[in-house]
Amino acid sequence: MRILGKRVKMNKIIVLLLIGLLALTGYLFSGDLDPSFHSQEEVKWKIPIGRSYDYSNILVSRVIDGDTLLLENNERVRLIGIDTPEIHESSKLNRDAQRSGQDLAVIKRMGNRSYEFTKALVEGKRVKLEFDVERFDKYKRILAYVYLADGTFVNAKIVEQGYASLLTYAPNVRYADLFTELYRQSRENRRGLWE
């Protein structure tokens, strides 16, 4: 009987360890793991175990460009549904220039105007994030709709004032109709980049 009791107790311990290991494995491969590569030989992993963030009241520490924000926890947020001109040399800048027929310098100037608008709107302010179907993009940036404390819908405001084009990817289409209407109005009224 003693051997059977020890075996049952040992089996319970093994089962609990396996459950814990499976939970940790699921967490590590869920997309919440943030690798930062410092060199080809050294890989540093940041695992936010035991730390959760209140996305209903989080500080925007810096605006990276017109449609990308850096939060106080060092996570990047890509604003859903909008696209602002590039401000840095990139393959996207080159594609946009080729597609639009505009000079790289013109696109960068427009990108800087969008950046300045977004910066004045949200940098150093606390915001609330709203998520759609997908939580992250392929670059591991958070995909979100962003609101200021006074209720201002940041994504919509940038489009409404003429500092962004539309960029809608299914399944993240909750406000696509609103953005389409705001974009039409900003073009017709020659606001922001459309003046």
- To the nearest 10 degrees (0 to 180), the angle between helices 91-100 and 104-122 is 120
- Tokens in use for 172? 């993240």
Catalytic positions: 78, 86, 141
CB atoms within 10 A of CB 122: 24
Distance CA(178)–CA(165), nearest Å, equals 13
Q: Would you call 157 helix, strand, or coil by DSSP? A: helix
Which of these, 19, 42, 43, lies nearest to 33 by C-alpha position?
43
**Can the peptide bond before residue 171 be classed as cis, meaning omega within 30 degrees of 0?**
yes
- Tokens in use for 19? 């459950």
Q: Would you call 77 helix, strand, or coil by DSSP? A: strand
